Amino acid sequence: MRTWILLAVIYTLSALAQSADLVQRTYRCAGGVQVRAVYQNQFDRVGVVFGGQTYGPLFQVEAASGVKYSDGRASWWVKGSGSTQEAQLMSERTGKILARGCRPLR
């Protein structure tokens, strides 16, 4: 199982890294946990690494505010910009917020 997860992480990040318009950000979330987000194609998709798992690719979907990415199983929702930017990662299957209050590291 661990080997499969590691291969999935490597494959996803490698696929994302092949794009010329790649932006990587690390976020520090509530409780001190970190999330790594790899945005691709002018921010219409993202891969998120958290707690040893890779989520994505998540595709941009309609949101009441901010920018939300989803694949129907997980969502990454970013609101604000600059110093006020905040994000959260949520399991859409369970409705549980996996990481909240995530702010980009500068």
Structure tokens at 79: 């609101």
Classify residue 33 by burial, with Cβ atoms within 10 Å: 0-12, 13-18, 19+: middle
Predicted confidence at residue 59, as pLDDT, reads 96
Q: What was the pLDDT predicted at 61?
A: 94
| Confidence check: pLDDT of 7 > 50 | no
Cut 0.85: pTM above it: no
Q: 19-23, 32-36, 101-105: which has the minimum mean pLDDT? A: 19-23
Query: Of all residues in the chain, what percent carry a pLDDT higher than 70?
Result: 81
Mean pLDDT calculated for residue range 3-22: 54
Q: Name the residue with higher pLDDT: 71 or 84.
A: 71
71-87: b (≥16 Cβ within 10 Å) or e: eeebbbbbeeeeeeebb
pLDDT of residue 41: 77
Q: What single-letter DSSP state applies at residue 66? A: S
CB atoms within 10 A of CB 16: 20
pLDDT beyond 70 at 76: yes
Indicate the average pLDDT of the chain. 85
Question: Which two three-digit tokens encode residue 38?
Answer: 């790899």
pLDDT given for residue 46 in this prediction:
96
